Structure 1
Amino acid sequence: MTAIADIGPVGIIGGTGLTSLSDLHIVGEEQVDTAWGAPSSSLVRGRLGQQAVIFLARHGNPHRIPPHEVNYRANLQALFNAGVRTVVGVNAVGGIHQKMGPAHVVIPDQLIDYTWGRASTFFEGELEQVTHIDFTWPYDQSARELLIRVATEAGVPFSDFGVYGATQGPRLETAAEIRRMERDGCDIVGMTGMPEAVLAAELGMRYVSLGLVVNWAAGKSDHIITMAEIEEAIEQGMSGVRLILERSMAGLGQLSRQSA
């Protein structure tokens, strides 16, 4: 399960605000199934520049699957079966760190998992042996360095660090919960970072998160969080996310080849 075999396309898992890519030259779309069930959406095959890409809408297209009901195992398995060995997870997040406000891009380096009850491993059931993977560094460092370099060269305002706190959802957090998360060291908060990252690790895939802050976390502003605020931040910041994706695809594909 963990061996990286033939080299295929780079995978992009799109979240809130990124259900499609306008610059993706689509060459095919297929409905697939896995041993874990059906993924959230069809696999859209295409090219960004010269790099083959497979895009998967995490919440479905149209956006209809809440974070706690996403079939993360099916999503990752479907991409793996399609030949993907490097994945970029695009995440809409709330800002906790004072420098991570709406429309800001974050390339996190760590995470804390506050979710519960989600199917979070491939290693269960009638196993031949118990398997424990190392998860010290949840995001692939080479892929992070590439995204950081591309974001810097593109002039996109971003942070090259961040602890992602993954919460259960679908409700947003209380102000007290955010204060606790800040004490724990979290810089951003989202609902889809786990178990996506660990499942990719179990499959031996490179995984990196590209976060867009779409609102201040609860208690971090003087008003309640509204969908209008979130939609405005997505409109302002998603162009930077798309630019980073477009300019990093060739390099991410090269990382996959180096891993073969």
Structure 2
Amino acid sequence: MPSIAIIGGTGVAELDGFERIAEHPVNTPYGAPSRPIQEGLLDGTKIYFLQRHGSPAAIPPHSINYRANLWALQSFDIDAIVAINAVGGISASMKTGRLLLPDQVIDYTWGREHTFDEGQDGHLLHIDFTEPYDSALRDDLLGAAAAAGIGLEPRGVHGVTQGPRLESAAEVQRMARDGCDVVGMTGMPEAALARELNIPYAAVCMVVNAAAGLGDMPLTLTSMREILQREAQVVASLLQSFLRGRA
């Protein structure tokens, strides 16, 4: 039976309520994924879970082997991927503690392996990326949030920077002019690779801080972790509601 894959980001090394039943080391044509794929149950439904930064390792955003991660997940007969991202808020509505279901992305990264297409089969892989996130999957997540009484912003633009450093205030101002609502470091090329593999993909963004130059307090990892711990529990409740709706 097809299953859901969950990709966890910063602060989501383990999912609340996840009962692990197996770990699967996977070799891919692109190397090893961030860690073995964990198979288990969440709210009684089988899922596959991958922490993109590794655990207990801490792979920085620009060094993640995104191709290996996506290739490994697709080998388990999954029919959708829900990715969790920790982000900074840019637009006025993206206050700390909000959850966003983005419908668009702007990629500011560079030097990452962005495609499975290496030009070896004589065919160019020009995917349609007009709508980078799967609309049906997004609708299911919005319905799950409503059913669970969880606030989830229904649309927004996810700007993805290179990292691992945080952005300058001027960079954030440019992103605001570009129309970005939040900024993170791991949303691309993950979304595009999922599209190349024809796997429906959606992201849930946890706003854990105001982006550089927009908050009253200095950006510290301590304050971000406090928000991450709280929001990770909310995201776990959202995923449980989502899985119940697909049962």
Give the TM-score band, short-chain normalised: over 0.9
In 2, Cα distance between the equivalents of 1:251 and 1:79?
22
In 2, Cα distance between the equivalents of 1:198 and 1:139?
9
Q: Percent identity, please.
A: 47
Match runs of 1:48-197 below 5 Å = 48-197=42-191
State whether residues 40 and 75 of structure 1, in contact with CA within 8 Å, keep that contact through their aligned partners in structure 2: yes
Aligned with residue 229 of structure 2, among 229, 235, 256: 235
TM-score normalised by the chain length of structure 1? 0.92
In 1, Cα distance between the equivalents of 2:228 and 2:97?
6
Amino acid at match of 2:14: S
Amino acid at match of 1:147: L
In the alignment, which residue of structure 2 is the partner of 1:12? 6
1:210 aligns with 2:215: no
Q: Which runs of 5+ in 2 are unaligned?
A: none
TM-score normalised by the chain length of structure 2? 0.96
Shift of 1:122: 0.4
3-state SS, counterpart of residue 71 of structure 2: helix
1:40 aligns with 2:40: no
In 2, Cα distance between the equivalents of 1:55 and 1:178?
32
Shift of 1:250: 4.1
In 2, Cα distance between the equivalents of 1:158 and 1:130?
37
3-state SS, counterpart of residue 32 of structure 1: coil
State whether residues 46 and 54 of structure 1, in contact with CA within 8 Å, keep that contact through their aligned partners in structure 2: yes
In 2, Cα distance between the equivalents of 1:133 and 1:79?
20
State whether residues 19 and 63 of structure 1, in contact with CA within 8 Å, keep that contact through their aligned partners in structure 2: no
In 2, Cα distance between the equivalents of 1:196 and 1:249?
22
